[in-house]
Amino acid sequence: MITPLKLASKPTPIEFYTGVFPDFDFHIKRDDLTGLEGSGNKIRKLEYLLADAENNGSDLIITCGGIQSNHCRATMYCCAKLGWQGVCVVKGEKPKIAEGNLLLDFLFNAQVEFLPTAQYLHKEDYIAEMIDDFKKKGHKPYFIPTGGSNGIGALGYIFAMDEMAAYIDRHKIDAVFCAVGSGGTYAGLLMGKYQSSLAVPVYGVLVDETPAFFEAKIKSIIGETEKVLERKFPIRDTDIKLIDGYIGPGYGVPYDEEIAIIRQMARKGLILDPVYTGKTFFGMVDKKSELGFSNPLFIHTGGIFSVFAYPELKTQADFLK
Ligand SMILES: *Cc1c(COP(=O)(O)O)cnc(C)c1O
């Protein structure tokens, strides 16, 4: 078993919202409040991943993601905090001005490598070479995959479910919702549901890829965690409840209904992000009658800094019209 590092502010609060929609109330697990610089879901995974890195004697972390990756930013933050070297391989050309998460990556003194989109598709080769080079220089690099989604990272969300279990029970929560971007959060929540003997359905709203892609990936993450923990989780295919149809034009591309709900919730004092939680929250509200729940718990997985990097939110803001 891996003893996690202490990097996140936990437990995060759960808030109850009433009067926002005419036909239902909801609860929000504020995992956007796991810290400031490290805010969001990734830091829960990093508590386990970086503990594993430490156990391996590593002090140089390599990871990858989009230019506005929350995962890269949270990882680079933890590296700065721990005094380790952080390297992230990001998809796309170097922008003229660093905004949002990328700005923070630079402030945390991360080594950021920009790979053109076509080359990023084969980033594994590039990263393997990088790892070799660092080894030749006497380093012990530790690689964390996209979103920290593997069998070790998912442990963070088994624990998160444990943190919510009593609340779910007491408040008779009848559905749990989270975004699915690389699958680790969802896989962890599903295993956590079994660990905590909860009957509540856990829905994952896709913000990228296809249901078939994520069904396979989630099963493979669960398989990895089973090896790490040396135990089995009796998860059936029907337990994996993925919701498609809310990606919009593509990963990281906001759309009108999403922006409208981000505005609506902001007026209630809650900021959703344009890449993950905006789409997922819209999906939850839109699927309400079809799925027939009435008292859901939405996991707010963070993403605050990308709000400052998306022109869709800036140019469409009412005060700019
Ligand atoms: C990464 C991320 C997600 C998705 O979590 P996965 O474990 O990658 O599926 C959701 N919300 C935010 C804000 C994220 O940064």
pLDDT in tens, 223-234: 999 999 999 999
Q: What is the pLDDT of residues 49-60, one digit of tens each?
A: 999 999 999 989
Q: How confident is the model over 295-303, as a mean pLDDT?
A: 98
Residue in 198, 184, 176 with CA at minimum distance from that of residue 280: 176
Contact 310, 254 (CB under 8 A): yes
The structure's pTM equals: 0.97
Ligand 1 pocket mutation pick from 42, 146, 307 by most atoms within 8 angstroms of CB: 42
Would you call 76 exposed, middle or buried from its count of C-beta atoms within 10 A (0-12, 13-18, 19+)?
buried
Residue whose Cα lies nearest atom 4 of ligand 1: it is 181
pLDDT band for position 320 (50/70/90)? very low
Q: What is the mean pLDDT of residues 253-279?
A: 96
What is the model's pLDDT at position 90? 98
By C-alpha distance, which of 33, 97, 39, 42 is closest to 64?
A: 42
Q: Give the per-residue pLDDT at 1.
A: 80
Q: Which pLDDT value is given to residue 224?
A: 98
Is 182 tagged catalytic?
no
Output the CA 75–ligand 1 centroid distance in Å. 13
Task: Please tell me if the CB atom of residue 147 comes closer than 6 angstroms to any atom of ligand 1.
Answer: yes
321 pLDDT more than 90: no
Mean pLDDT across the chain, nearest whole number? 96
pLDDT digits (tens, 9 = 90+) for 177-209: 999 999 999 999 999 999 999 999 999 999 999
Q: Is the CB–ligand 1 distance for residue 71 below 6 Å?
A: yes
Is 182 touching ligand 1 by the criterion CB < 6 Å? yes
Percent pLDDT > 70 in the chain is 98
pLDDT band at 316 (very low <50, low <70, confident <90, very high): low
Please report the atom of ligand 1 found closest to the CA of residue 45.
Answer: 7
Q: Which of 213, 160, 166 is nearest to 185 (CA)?
A: 160
pLDDT of residue 47: 98
- HEC readout, the chain: CCCCCCCCCCCCCEEEECCCCCCCCEEEEEHHHCCCCCCCCHHHHHHHHHHHHHHCCCCEEEEEEECCCHHHHHHHHHHHHHCCEEEEEEECCCCCCCCHHHHHHHHCCCEEEEECHHHHCCHHHHHHHHHHHHHHCCCCEEECCHHHCCCCCCHHHHHHHHHHHHHHHHCCCCEEEEEECCCHHHHHHHHHHHHCCCCCCEEEEECCCCHHHHHHHHHHHHHHHHHHHCCCCCCCHHHCEEECCCCCCECCECCHHHHHHHHHHHCCCCCCCCCCHHHHHHHHHHCHHHHCCCCEEEEECCCHHHHHCCHHHHHCCHHHC
Look at ligand 1, atom 8, and give the residue with the nearest C-alpha: 182
pLDDT at 311: 81
Q: From CA 130, how far away is CA 141, in angstroms rounded?
A: 9
**Residue bearing the bigger pLDDT, 97 or 312:** 97
> Span 275-285, mean pLDDT?
98
- Distance from residue 197's CA to the centre of ligand 1 (Å): 24
pLDDT in tens, 3-45: 999 999 999 999 999 999 999 999 999 999 999 999 999 999 9
Task: Give the position, in ligand 1's atom list, of the atom nearest the Cα of 147.
Answer: 8
Kindly state if the Cβ of 306 falls inside 6 Å of ligand 1.
Answer: no
Give the up-direction half-sphere exposure of residue 129: CA atoms within 13 A in the CB hemisphere. 5
Of the pLDDT bands very low, low, confident and very high (cuts 50, 70, 90), residue 317 is low
Under 8 Å between Cβ of 156 and 191? no
Residue of 9, 39, 58, 69 marked catalytic: 69
